[in-house]
Structure 1
Amino acid sequence: MQRGVSSVVQLLLLQGCLCAVATGYLFRTPLDLDVTPRVTVLNSGLQGCRHFQSSAVNYSTMLLEADSERLYVGARGAVFALNASDISAGSALTIDWEASPEQKHQCLLKGKDNKTECFNHIRLLQRFNSTHLYMCGTNAYRPLCAYIDVERFVISSQPEEGRDKCPYGPTTGYTALIIDQQIYTASQYEFRSFPDIRRNSPSPTLKTEDAPTRWLNEADFVGSVLVRESVGSSTGDDDKIYFFFTEISQQQTPTYSHSRVARVARVCKEDRGGHLTLQKRWTSFLKTRLTCSLPEYDFHFNILRSVFALPGQTPQDTFFYGIFGLEWKNVKASAVCRFTLSEVQEAFQGPYMENQDSGSKWKEYTGKIPDPRPGTCITDALRARNMNFSTSLPDDVLNFVRRHPLMSKQVEPADRRPLLFRRTTDYTHMGVHTAQGLDGQIYYVLYMGTDEGWLHKAVDIKGQLHIIEELQLFEEPQPVNNLLISDKQWSVYMGSPSGVVQLPLSSCGRYTSCYDCIFARDPHCAWNGAECVDVVMQADRSTLIQDIQHGTEGCENTQGDVVHRNRSVRVGDDVLLQCELSSNLATPLWMLDGRQVQGYDLNSGFRTGTDGLLIIDARQDQSGLYTCYGVENGVKVAIVTYNVTIRLDLHPPPPVDPTHGFAITRAPSEHPPTEKSKPPLLSPLLPHSDLLSPRNMKAIYLSLITILGGLCVVLTVVLIYVGFCLRVGHRGKYSIRAAAAAHQSGKKHHRNRKQHRNSTTMELKTISSHCNGNGICNGSSKMHNGNIQDGGLLQIVPGEGHTSPSNEPLPPAPPLPPTPQLTSPGCDFSNGLSATLPSVLRRMHGNSYVLLRQSDSENMSPPGYSFAEELNKILEKRKHTQLLPRPDESSV
């Protein structure tokens, strides 16, 4: 049986390894699209940030009117009118509109959630005419709509039925437009209804068709846009409304029978339906697919999350920006694709798709197309043929529209690839702002909110996005529900479950040097010789410096602020030189007296990290001027310099107890550690090994991923096997007494082994945030041969249960020995001990570095044992011979 289990385990291990390798291949990242934000700004560092909060929640609907400087916000049970220039001002107007207790009770009887659904969530809030707004709410699963008197900001009429204009639930996909006092909505309105695109008022009301061909298949709507194509039209064409949504694909295959696809649909604004055929139905409805994918990486983004329309100088210059996600719900990834209106129009002028035998077999229609072309709007040419309205269209045209709503040609994004791909981010909403650079070009600046409450600001440079900065909007993660941009107020507004946030479109003052301003590549910012300023605020732009295309030129003749520091250390110490880079795209480069420091070779005596350089076992020939450069866009900028002096006559090394064999010292730093200090992120130092050479690190990393994947499978099989054995084995109570007996037997065996090796005592000391001014620290423990005095062992074994007669606490830790204190004004010192074995740098307690060394003594480990192996054995014994209820944070 064991042999069979072993075979199964080996098979599963092999399968796990293959899965791990396949997963790594599947999620390969396109390096030129998965862009890292250049600057990360936490919530505490936001500049010009303003908040609005109230007792209401779920601020999901916003309407910005720049002329009146009003920002209208719809939340759960309330509507607010805020000052758009400063939403935190105390002049907010409020309308409370909550569902009645009776309606909430009816909602509960329907089985809905009384914490999220049985409320009045505002889903529609738009301008109706010059004096009124129109709003609709879910009203605890019985939608209502009402008018708002803008001047008095009160509900001006009795609420009216809203089930044909508003969805029942707060999270149902929904979009709405009020155009010339006509309400166009798209959603799944009632609980059991099909998704529908409707014109609700005034008459005639129109909707989509369900039979014989269903035009929408479980559609989830995310947005709608009016494009006034009649403006300057030479053909007298009509304005059109574009709806964006995700639905189940009608082109089903055996592999993806329920795959979802992104769609864009179009209707004509003046559509009146058919006379006999398609009565009260759209005669101009057509739809096609929006593609956003990376075929070379096998990424297909089928879920459309949000859309933003950017008008151009003419209707043909309109851009549609879409946020797409993967169909897998457990994988976080987003892509941003841009589409042109001309590409969309070309798709609607292409061939139609035909449904064979009313099933799932769709293919391109190759037959005769009726005249006039089905799905087109009324033009001057049709009016000349006495077809002034859609009701005049022939029945053969309308029958063709009914059976052929889907177009064959797909809409490809500009440049045939996404602008951006983010593998670890879920974008929720987006806004686009245009800005003219100093080079005269027009740049598109994107503001994208995430599901965790971050705002990414990016600029489109030659068809690729450069993320300028990422801003943390909220202390607690929460999604961005809506996003609006105001060019007049120079602000971006974000709605969330907890409130509304207002930020300026740019914060150029964040960049403190010329190169920092240039590297940002922000079209809103430029360097004036003294500071980074907003371009729009400068009347004279002749002396401003900006380089958006490359982010490299313009600062050659400027002087940057370089920090100068002095360090004096003793020979044999480990010295840490810090260099913090503000940019996530910059890499550190260290120079010693003009020569580059090689910090990757294990024998070089240096280790480099993302924010520091470590000198190991300092030698006198390593003295000199160390300079840290930040390298970004191929340009290196000096950040900090250290004049390091390594001497022999500073202080004698601290005494080392030969019976202990170990001593620990803290690596020096510029400032003593505090509870809030953050240590530099340096990789641990490891003993030299050919296995850890740089060329083998990649292979080691892939091997670890493969092994971990296999171990997960093995552990699952072992747990199932053990559970089966316990089920069929003896069932009894548990005894602590049996555990004690086992412990005593283990102690006898250990005493027999002690006779064959020398006695060794180890003392571990750390310097952490609990150290006092005299160098005394908490967290010291003594270990004799791997055993701790007065220690105990607690195990749970099958047997009879007994109650322990003693509840005495564990004895206190022995007092700490005095620690030598070294002080000297103007310099940083560190203690160092000579050792014959390599040092090991470890982070202790979050803000301390400790060095573990083995002193030269006669009590060496047995032949064949390395220092790391011996230490691991001792620590492993200690772990199994002591139970601490709350171990000290600084102890090893």
Structure 2
Amino acid sequence: MRRSAEMQGARTSAVPLLLLSCCVCAAAGYPFRTPLDLDVTPRITVLSSGLQGCRRFQSSAVNYSTMLLEADSERLYVGARGAAYALNASDISASSALSIEWEASPDQKRQCLLKGKDNKTECFNHIRFLQRFNSTHFYMCGTHAFRPLCAYIEEERFVMSSQPEEGRDKCPYGPTTGYTALIIDQQMYTATQYEFRSFPDIRRNSPSPTLKTEDAPTRWLNEADFVGSALVRDSLGSSTGDDDKIYFFFTEKSQEQTTTYSHSRVARVARVCKGDRGGRLTLQKRWTSFLKARLTCSLHEYDFHFNMLRSVFLMPGRTPQDTLFYGIFGLEWKNVKASAVCRFSLSDIQEAFQGPYMENQDSGSKWKEYTGKIPEPRPGTCITDALRARGINVSTSLPDDVLDFVRRHPLMSQQVQPSDRRPLLFRRTTDYTHMAVQMIQGLDGQKYHVLYMGTDEGWLHKAVEVEGQLHIIEELQIFEEPQPVNNLLISAKQMSVYVGSPSGVVQLPLSNCRRYASCYDCIFARDPHCAWNGAQCVDVMTHVDRSALIQDIQHGRKGCENTQEDIVVRSRAVRVGDDVLLQCELSSNLATPLWTQDGSELQGYGLNSGFRTGTDGLLIIEARQDQSGLYTCYAVENSIKVAIITYNITIRMDLPPPPPVEPTEDFYTLPTPTEHPSSERPLPPPPAPVLPHSELLSTRNMEAMYLSLITILGGLCVVLTVVLVYVGFCLRVGHRGKYSLRAAAAAYPNSKRHNKNRKQHRNSSQMELKTISSHCNGNGVCNGVSKQRNGGIQDGGFLQIVPGEAYPSPNKEPPPPAPPLPPTPQLPSPECDFPNGLSATLPSVLRRMNGNSYVLLRQSDSENTSSSCYSFAEELNRILEKRKHTQLLPRPDESSV
């Protein structure tokens, strides 16, 4: 036993060492070192029950993933599984919604099942594309149970204007395949994996000539997963006669060879020219302007590399060169949740496309930077005025050597770095899925970008970009049941953000300034939509005269110096020795509490200070008279102290104790703080009955009492074990009939209660002690605690200890039920004491101890006691001798000892 105890102690002491070593290893390795300056905490957390101005749309359909906002018509068009909807953009929950039911036929669903697809998710018509085609019609495409179809939609009546047409070159087969598409001047540009076993491709489908990417001898796309696309009209105001360009964003398998680090997948940006017509002989019906480059979103100082691109948003500028792209990136490991937000400028992307190329002379090796001669005109460029002057008016006029170079060199060597050379935001435990960005001008004249980011668990984060870093203003729980955000759209006209999800569509206001009740709360938020007008926090967009409004987005701490804040004052009278909790709720996650007593800051909260502080308030432990005074709670945020609440605490010795409350159960609570209502306002009664204060029930005395009880109980258990082993041995030798303690509990009248309590404590691995009282009436109900006499417990309070059987292992069948037992003999009276001063009776509540035996500590019923006295061993032997002849079990349950 000593050796096992030493081994157990060694294992126990090794646990902290193991944890420490794991922490050291994690701190030194990727990806667990955290850049604290970028791991931003949302300032305000709003649960779904606290959302204001929230409108929802739900129907029998699911998977609302495609959305199109028409600001002029004030309609929001939504594509779901098997249906499309036209909603009122000002209130999507209005009953004026129009719908088109478009589900796959039963025959098509059967063919989908024959292909081995899932009949719960894939064998349906998921709407993947819905955009405007011209001034009167929309164009819509769906997977149609792995046979894509497309159709024209009449805008006015919102009905199909023609029969569906083949869509396998325009829409993916599956509902989760990466996909992006645009209609530009009635030409459709798509990027996805179209057919079931085809390679990913970027195509222009209609009208002719149709173009696509090259597969041989050099494959331009390598297992690409597309997330977005955007049109940049470079031709507007261009001095060189440049062409418009379409940019595609995706993640693909890596092709580069580098000595710094390697990843299996990387983020990419590719571009094609809108006026591309392919080559005459070389690259016929292929893009002649296709180029791609790598997007990097990394924290090099922490060795963090985010390679998986999840979402992208184009933010137009005053000129095409001022265009910005915001992207959400994730880690390559699926079991690690983390997200980063990076911002890229169009000028940096164009610079990468003007840099050196990569080449792959041998298809089996990695790509390296090309150092040879580059033909003229530069491969991959659009048709410009300079080329037109040389007689090259379309791409079909380009020389073959240029087109052959394009075929073999689609990848650029230079990587596109973020605008600030690092992410704007990093979140460890969050997976962002989609985002939308709005630009708004603050009261300081600067323009700020406000980002709305949806998560995979149904939350919406609102953040503002300030000097290259994001400040998360708030996080909103949109759905009670976790589900990913499938799409995000912003309407400045409706002042709303629309969120698509698997279960429905949600409309939320862009801001809710009334949520901030004070001036400092409004300023600390740093929300460009909100400002303080002297009385309340208001929306800036609704005010024409903004001269009297206060706002500080840059720092979030200026403007409220001369405002008067109302402070709640409460008075309480407390008895000496009680514990008192002074509550102080902070609405901001970025604020820290600061407590003062009579104007002086409380210094330290050690074990002997008498105070404990936490997020819920200040706890005064065993209050003393010198702790009376004014306690004020401050919220410290952005280096500014703001008073929240003040308590006037009076600690007195002459306060009467509360009247005794008769308990309703056998369990007693430890002493709770007693707070007397002040003269200003009544306080509710204490929530639970309390024990009168006494020196005996102090913390130190209670610990000594518990240790003594545990020691005594251990000795009794040893005696009981020896007796049971001896009796079991005698029964094995002398009698063929055996006994089982399982029937002991069944013999008692309130056995159901025993079994219930035994089930409640089945998972307990320790012995429990309860407060015991000798004040019991004739019905066995205790009215109070035991009286103290000379520092001890009055005679009559006792412990009851009995053995019980362990639960059988799962692989053994339970024994047959025992026959009814004869009436239970009279139990020994409480006056029969053991040498240690404790009395014993048989149990009525069982506790599991050490996995295979049970003990009970509770008060006996006086009506079941008698005056006859027996020793513990005699009483136990007498009862077992009487019961052992009535059991029919062939073999005793050894685990019950």
Band of TM-score, shorter chain: 0.7 to 0.9
CA distance in 1, matches of 2:486, 2:518: 35
Q: 2:368 aligns with which of 363, 369, 373?
A: 363
Deviations, residues 723-758 of structure 1 (Å, cap 9, x unaligned): xxxxxxxxxxxx9959999xxxxxxxxxxxxxxxxx
Q: 2:291 aligns with which of 282, 286, 291?
A: 286
Q: Check the 8 A contact 1:481/1:497 in 2, yes or no.
A: yes
Q: 2:804 aligns with which of 766, 772, 792?
A: 792
Q: CA deviation at 1:792?
A: 3.0
Q: 1:217 aligns with which of 218, 222, 225?
A: 222
Relative to structure 1, the CA distance from residue 618 to residue 877 in structure 2 (aligned partners, 3 Å threshold; closer, same or farther) is farther
Q: Secondary structure at the match of 2:219?
A: coil
TM-score, length-normalised on structure 2? 0.76
Q: Check the 8 A contact 1:354/1:362 in 2, yes or no.
A: yes
Q: Check the 8 A contact 1:348/1:407 in 2, yes or no.
A: yes
Q: Secondary structure at the match of 1:176?
A: strand
Q: Secondary structure at the match of 1:265?
A: strand
Q: CA deviation at 1:381?
A: 0.4
Q: CA deviation at 1:23?
A: 2.5
1:553-702 equivalent positions in 2, closer than 5 A: 553-652=558-657, 664-668=670-674, 671=684
Relative to structure 1, the CA distance from residue 507 to residue 804 in structure 2 (aligned partners, 3 Å threshold; closer, same or farther) is same
CA distance in 2, matches of 1:860, 1:577: 44
1:726-805 equivalent positions in 2, closer than 5 A: 737=740, 762-763=771-772, 792-796=804-808, 801-805=814-818
Paired amino acid for 1:21: V
Q: Secondary structure at the match of 1:415?
A: coil
2:44 pairs with 1:39: yes
Q: Secondary structure at the match of 2:223?
A: coil
Q: 1:248 aligns with which of 238, 243, 253?
A: 253
Q: CA deviation at 1:539?
A: 1.4
Relative to structure 1, the CA distance from residue 506 to residue 56 in structure 2 (aligned partners, 3 Å threshold; closer, same or farther) is same
Q: Check the 8 A contact 1:57/1:497 in 2, yes or no.
A: yes
Q: Check the 8 A contact 1:664/1:764 in 2, yes or no.
A: no
Deviations, residues 745-797 of structure 1 (Å, cap 9, x unaligned): xxxxxxxxxxxxxx9973499xxxxxxxx999xxxxxxx99975567342336
Q: Check the 8 A contact 2:742/2:804 in 1, yes or no.
A: no
CA distance in 1, matches of 2:812, 2:353: 78
Paired amino acid for 2:854: T
Q: CA deviation at 1:253?
A: 6.9
Aligned residue in 2 for 1:229: 234
Q: Check the 8 A contact 2:807/2:852 in 1, yes or no.
A: no
Q: Secondary structure at the match of 2:655?
A: coil
CA distance in 2, matches of 1:316, 1:171: 34
Relative to structure 1, the CA distance from residue 505 to residue 390 in structure 2 (aligned partners, 3 Å threshold; closer, same or farther) is same
Q: Secondary structure at the match of 2:367?
A: strand
Relative to structure 1, the CA distance from residue 440 to residue 190 in structure 2 (aligned partners, 3 Å threshold; closer, same or farther) is same
Paired amino acid for 1:217: N
Paired amino acid for 2:470: L
Q: Check the 8 A contact 1:570/1:648 in 2, yes or no.
A: yes
Q: Secondary structure at the match of 1:347?
A: helix
Q: Check the 8 A contact 1:599/1:607 in 2, yes or no.
A: no
Q: 2:854 aligns with which of 864, 878, 881?
A: 881
CA distance in 2, matches of 1:662, 1:309: 64
Q: Check the 8 A contact 2:436/2:451 in 1, yes or no.
A: yes
Aligned residue in 2 for 1:106: 111
Relative to structure 1, the CA distance from residue 189 to residue 551 in structure 2 (aligned partners, 3 Å threshold; closer, same or farther) is same
Aligned residue in 2 for 1:76: 81
Q: Check the 8 A contact 1:788/1:881 in 2, yes or no.
A: no
2:34 pairs with 1:22: no
Relative to structure 1, the CA distance from residue 534 to residue 674 in structure 2 (aligned partners, 3 Å threshold; closer, same or farther) is farther
Q: Check the 8 A contact 1:661/1:760 in 2, yes or no.
A: no
Q: Check the 8 A contact 1:788/1:878 in 2, yes or no.
A: no
Relative to structure 1, the CA distance from residue 436 to residue 791 in structure 2 (aligned partners, 3 Å threshold; closer, same or farther) is farther
Relative to structure 1, the CA distance from residue 122 to residue 661 in structure 2 (aligned partners, 3 Å threshold; closer, same or farther) is closer
Q: 1:473 aligns with which of 474, 478, 488?
A: 478
Relative to structure 1, the CA distance from residue 612 to residue 16 in structure 2 (aligned partners, 3 Å threshold; closer, same or farther) is closer
1:808-887 equivalent positions in 2, closer than 5 A: 881=854
Q: CA deviation at 1:25?
A: 3.8
Q: CA deviation at 1:563?
A: 1.0
Q: What RMSD in Å do the two structures reach over aligned CA positions?
A: 3.5
Q: 2:466 aligns with which of 434, 457, 461?
A: 461
Aligned residue in 2 for 1:517: 522
Relative to structure 1, the CA distance from residue 111 to residue 577 in structure 2 (aligned partners, 3 Å threshold; closer, same or farther) is same
Aligned residue in 2 for 1:534: 539
Q: Check the 8 A contact 1:228/1:315 in 2, yes or no.
A: yes
Aligned residue in 1 for 2:416: 411
Paired amino acid for 1:794: A
Q: CA deviation at 1:883?
A: 9.9
Paired amino acid for 1:22: C
Relative to structure 1, the CA distance from residue 158 to residue 662 in structure 2 (aligned partners, 3 Å threshold; closer, same or farther) is closer
Relative to structure 1, the CA distance from residue 591 to residue 137 in structure 2 (aligned partners, 3 Å threshold; closer, same or farther) is same
Return 875-884 or 46-55, whichever deviates more.
875-884
| Percent of aligned pairs with the same amino acid | 76
CA distance in 1, matches of 2:552, 2:203: 48
Q: Secondary structure at the match of 2:523?
A: helix
Q: Secondary structure at the match of 1:666?
A: coil
CA distance in 1, matches of 2:772, 2:122: 61
Paired amino acid for 1:195: P
CA distance in 2, matches of 1:178, 1:186: 12
Paired amino acid for 2:818: P
Q: CA deviation at 1:878?
A: 11
Relative to structure 1, the CA distance from residue 11 to residue 51 in structure 2 (aligned partners, 3 Å threshold; closer, same or farther) is same
Q: CA deviation at 1:561?
A: 2.0
- How many residue pairs are counted as aligned between the two chains? 730
Q: 2:311 aligns with which of 303, 306, 309?
A: 306
1:268-283 equivalent positions in 2, closer than 5 A: 268-283=273-288
Aligned residue in 2 for 1:339: 344
TM-score, length-normalised on structure 1? 0.77
CA distance in 1, matches of 2:14, 2:609: 43
Deviations, residues 797-848 of structure 1 (Å, cap 9, x unaligned): 697852242799xx9xxxxxxxxxxxxxxxxxxxxxxxxxxxxxxxxxxxxx
Q: Which runs of 5+ in 2 are unaligned?
A: 676-682, 689-697, 701-737, 745-767, 775-782, 786-795, 825-835, 839-846, 858-897
CA distance in 1, matches of 2:120, 2:598: 66
Q: CA deviation at 1:299?
A: 1.1
CA distance in 1, matches of 2:454, 2:27: 28
CA distance in 2, matches of 1:378, 1:661: 87
Paired amino acid for 1:762: T
Instruction: Answer 1 or 2: higher relative contact order, Cα 8 Å, separation at least 6.
Output: 1
Q: CA deviation at 1:357?
A: 1.2
Q: Which runs of 5+ in 1 are unaligned?
A: 676-684, 688-734, 742-758, 766-773, 777-783, 812-858, 862-873, 885-892
Q: Check the 8 A contact 2:291/2:410 in 1, yes or no.
A: yes
CA distance in 2, matches of 1:736, 1:454: 61
1:498-513 equivalent positions in 2, closer than 5 A: 498-513=503-518
Q: Check the 8 A contact 2:48/2:480 in 1, yes or no.
A: yes
Relative to structure 1, the CA distance from residue 646 to residue 257 in structure 2 (aligned partners, 3 Å threshold; closer, same or farther) is closer
Q: CA deviation at 1:662?
A: 9.5
CA distance in 1, matches of 2:460, 2:350: 32
Q: Secondary structure at the match of 1:346?
A: helix
Q: CA deviation at 1:262?
A: 0.3
Q: Check the 8 A contact 1:786/1:878 in 2, yes or no.
A: no
CA distance in 1, matches of 2:333, 2:583: 42
CA distance in 2, matches of 1:134, 1:48: 32
Paired amino acid for 2:25: A
